[in-house]
Amino acid sequence: MQIIILNVLQNNLNEHQPYFRMNINKYTMAEIKTILNYETLDLVFEGDDVNTTFNFFLNTYLWIFYSSFPLIKINKEMHNNSWIMIGIKTS
């Protein structure tokens, strides 16, 4: 005798629930490269305190990263096919 137990997770999502992702394409990649080339990191190389210089570098890099790759809203139609096993999903 064999027993198969399928755990089905029911998602209580709207049919057209939007999600957000970063807009990464060849234009935004070129933009971040250009901005990073013109960024002066004098405080990073001249600083004596490792924590201060790292925090300055991280803040500068993250500011450039998030400004170069803005979030875009995507409306994707959600299908309630959570009962389909992972091996046979096609979409």
Q: With DSSP H G I counted as helix, E B as strand and the rest as coil, what are the percentages for the chain, rounded to 5? A: 45, 10, 45
Range of 46's domain?
34-73
Report pLDDT for 48: 84
Report pLDDT digits (tens) over 18-52: 788 888 889 999 999 999 898 887 877 787 888 98
How much is the pLDDT for 14? 54
How many beta carbons lie within 10 A of that of residue 64, not counting itself? Answer: 15
Q: Is pLDDT larger for residue 28 or for residue 8? A: 28
Confidence band for 73, pLDDT divided at 50, 70 and 90: confident
Q: Determine the Cα–Cα distance for residues 8 and 66; give it in Å rounded to an integer.
A: 37
54 within a domain of the structure (yes/no): yes
pLDDT in tens, 56-72: 889 988 999 999 988 88
Whether 78 contacts 18, CB under 8 Å: no
Kindly state whether residue 23 falls inside one of the protein's structural domains. no
Domain count, the chain: 1
> Is 46 within the bounds of a domain?
yes
